Each structure stands twice: as C-alpha cells, then as structure tokens.
C-alpha cells in the first residue's frame, strides 16, 4: 500500500493498493457518520465493479443505492446531474450522507459536482477505475460538467474525503482507454519530471504502472497544495489542454478521447514553440517519440486555424487572453498568457 497525503483546506489521503476496491468501506467508514451511500457509475464500469463496492459498503452498515448513467463524455451534462439529484432525493440522501464516484474522469467530475451542489454540499469519495482518472482527474477537487460551448465550463472546487486507487481495475480497461490515460502520464513527465519522462522513454510503463501512478499523483498533489483554487501555478497541469479541448470540441466529444486529444495538442504546441526558439531544440521530437511509443496521436486532421477558433470560451481564459503552457525543456514548463487579439498572429494563422 502507498499513501499520499493531500494538505488542502480540506485534507485527505490517497491510497494506492491492489485489491482495495473489494474492501473500500474499510477506508470510507472511519471518515464519515453517513447512514446512506450512493454509488455513481457508468454503464461500462457498473456491471464490473458496482456490486463489489456495494457489498463492501453494505457489510459496513451503509444503506447503499447505485445510480448508473450512459458511459461517455456526451453524458457529462447538466441533464445527467439533474437525474442524479433526483436519485439522491428519492433515496433519502441527507447532508451527512456520502456519494461514491466509481469510474473514470467523467464519473468523478460529475459525482463531485453533484456532491458539491446537492443540499449545498455532501461528502464524496473517489474510486477511479481508469488510468486517466487515477493519475489526474480524481485528485485535486475540480468537478464539473460540459456545455455545448466547451468542456468543464460549469463546476465547483470540492475535495473528496479520500481517493482509493486500485491498479487492478486497469486490467479491465479497453485498450483505447489504456492509451488515453498515458496522455496525462506523459504530460506529468513533460511539465515536472525528467526522470519520469526518461522512465517512459526507456521502460514499458505498464510494467511499473503502480510506481508511475504514485509519481504522477505526487506531482499533482504538490501543485494542488500550493494552488488549490487554480489561480496560478496549477495552470501548468493544463499543458496540451487548450488545444486538446479544442480538438475534442471539434469532434463533438466523440471522435477522440481526452488523453489522446491532449497528447496531440501537446505535440502540436511544442513543435510550434520549439520553432519559435521558446523550447529547447529536440524537445518536440522526444515528446513525439514517447507519444508514438504508447499509441498516442501527434497530429489531427483539423487545421491549426480551426483549432485556434475552437479555443474561444476555453475555461483557461482570463481577462482578455488565454494562458498557454509552454515547455522550456522536458521536465520544465512555464505559463505564457497571450492576448486574445494576438493569438492568431502568434500561431501564424489568419
């Protein structure tokens, strides 16, 4: 077992342990006086793991119900949250009860947002079952849903009471979601850890995945502790995301998964910044080679002009510009805010 403590305003522990999903309640029960628990999961994950978690919670004395939504980013909408609220109400969830997010990033984001807003806030637990959610989205307290105009435009900061990571759940992931999660793993090496990036270059990440998860979560914990409300340094976690979110939007959130879009966005952006002399020579090639090694895309069919247009409304906008994350070199990055009227010129598009 590995434990990482997150010292945010509402502190909590992240536990990484194989098989933990079978006895999840052993870690949840000491943290709450809840009588009832509601498991939120999607139509892919629920048939595999919901009964296991439900049995653990019931054996620990929780009255437990399960809410299941259709899997996919297209469900990450306010309409799904409304159905979740109705389930909470019909199953007598009170302010002292608890929600349990069982699934990937979409599940965690929506469960956290519902928990943050139902009865003005109830506790929730993250049990991430995808690589992307284990290394990234389950940690840090960002919750939310998409609007037609863009990703995660409605949400709240709401820290979980604990995060339980079971690497065994990765064995049931379809290959495309294993690949998807590696997009965020590579991101962490790029922005903060040359040694992690070199591991990805020189070893097979899947042979040491427990250690990879621990390193990624530790990096994110350190950043979140220093900038819990995302007003400064935390923006570096969005490396590749401005272009990535635009790519997802252009594909109506169905053509490319999040991690793949981020990978392509990071590769495209780093190629541009290297050409401009803002990034150490050779960085883009190293990045592209690692992305290709793990089956991730380095380009898309959309034009750069289309991608730039689709960044309008990006949640990383502030004032009259968008903050882009540029690499100095592998393991080091910085924030570069570009004025809205200058973005197209900076990237050389009309």
Domain spans in the chain, listed from the N-terminal domain onward: 2-169, 175-346
Whether the CB-CB separation of 102 and 94 falls below 8 Å is answered with no
Separation CA 76–CA 47 (nearest Å)? 20
Residue 210, burial from CB neighbour count under 10 angstroms (0-12, 13-18, 19+): middle
pLDDT at 24 exceeding the cut of 80: yes
Kindly state the average pLDDT of the residues 69-92: 97
Number of Cβ within 10 Å of residue 30's Cβ equals 9
Residues 330/336/340/344 CA torsion (nearest 10 deg): -40
Residues 102/116/248/235 CA torsion (nearest 10 deg): -110
Separation CA 310–CA 70 (nearest Å)? 26
Six token digits for residue 343 = 């973005």
pLDDT at 266 exceeding the cut of 70: yes
Give the per-residue pLDDT at 169. 98
Integer angstrom CA distances of residue 239 from 54, 272, 327, 329:
37, 14, 8, 13
Whether the CB-CB separation of 63 and 90 falls below 8 Å is answered with no
337: which strand partners? 323
Locate all alpha helices (DSSP H) within 37-174, ordered by sequence. Answer: 46-59, 78-90, 105-117, 131-132
206, HSE (Cβ side, Cα atoms, 13 Å): 12
Q: Which CATH code of 3.90.1150.10, 1.20.1090.10, 1.10.390.10, 1.10.3430.10 fits the domain covering 175-346?
A: 1.20.1090.10
Whether the CB-CB separation of 1 and 17 falls below 8 Å is answered with yes
175 — pLDDT class (breaks 50, 70, 90): very high
The pTM (predicted TM-score) of the whole model is 0.94
With a CB cutoff of 8 Å and minimum separation 6, the contacts of 317 are 340
How many residues does the structure list for the chain? 350
Average pLDDT, the chain: 96
Separation CA 64–CA 56 (nearest Å)? 10
165: which strand partners? 16
Q: Which CATH code of 3.40.50.1970, 3.40.50.170, 3.30.2130.10, 3.40.50.10490 fits the domain covering 2-169?
A: 3.40.50.1970
pLDDT at 318 exceeding the cut of 80: no
31 — pLDDT class (breaks 50, 70, 90): very high
- pLDDT tens by residue, 268-287: 999 999 999 999 999 999 99
Kindly state the average pLDDT of the residues 307-314: 85
Whether the CB-CB separation of 75 and 103 falls below 8 Å is answered with no
The answer to whether 2-169 and 175-346 have equal CATH topology is no
Give the per-residue pLDDT at 317. 61
Separation CA 119–CA 229 (nearest Å)? 22
pLDDT at 161 exceeding the cut of 80: yes
Kindly state the average pLDDT of the residues 289-308: 97
110, HSE (Cβ side, Cα atoms, 13 Å): 32
């Amino acid at each position: 077992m590995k434990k990482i403590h997150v010292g945010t305003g509402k502190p909590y522990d992240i536990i990484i342990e194989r098989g933990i999903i079978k006895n999840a309640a052993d870690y949840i029960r000491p943290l709450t006086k809840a009588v009832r628990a509601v498991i939120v999961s999607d139509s892919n994950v629920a048939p595999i793991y919901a009964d296991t978690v439900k049995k653990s919670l019931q054996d620990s004395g929780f009255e437990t119900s399960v809410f299941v939504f259709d899997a996919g980013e297209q469900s990450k909408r306010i309409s799904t949250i409304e159905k979740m609220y109705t389930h909470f109400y019909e199953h007598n969830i009170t302010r002292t009860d608890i929600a349990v997010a069982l699934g990937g990033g979409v599940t965690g984001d929506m469960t956290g947002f519902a928990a943050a807003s139902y009865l003005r806030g109830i506790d929730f637990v993250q049990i991430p079952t995808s690589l992307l959610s284990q290394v990234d989205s389950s940690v840090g307290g960002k919750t939310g849903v998409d609007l037609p105009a863009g990703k995660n435009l409605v949400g709240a900061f709401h820290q979980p009471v604990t995060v339980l990571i079971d690497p065994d759940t990765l064995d049931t992931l379809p290959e495309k979601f294993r690949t998807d999660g590696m997009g965020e793993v590579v991101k962490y090496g790029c922005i903060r850890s040359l040694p992690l990036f070199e591991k990805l270059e020189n070893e097979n990440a899947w042979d040491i995945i427990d250690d990879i998860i621990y390193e990624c979560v530790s990096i994110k914990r350190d950043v979140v502790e220093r900038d819990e409300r995302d007003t400064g340094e935390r923006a570096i976690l969005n490396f590749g995301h401005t272009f990535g979110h635009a790519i997802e939007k252009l594909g109506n959130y169905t053509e490319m998964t999040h991690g793949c879009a981020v990978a392509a966005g990071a590769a495209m952006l780093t190629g541009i910044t290297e050409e401009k002399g803002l990034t150490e020579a050779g960085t883009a090639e190293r990045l592209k080679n690692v992305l290709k090694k793990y089956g991730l895309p380095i380009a898309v069919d959309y034009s750069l002009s289309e991608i730039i247009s689709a960044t309008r409304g990006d949640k990383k906008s502030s004032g009259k510009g968008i903050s882009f994350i540029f690499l100095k070199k592998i393991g080091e990055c910085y924030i570069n805010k570009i004025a809205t009227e200058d973005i197209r010129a900076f990237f050389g598009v009309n």
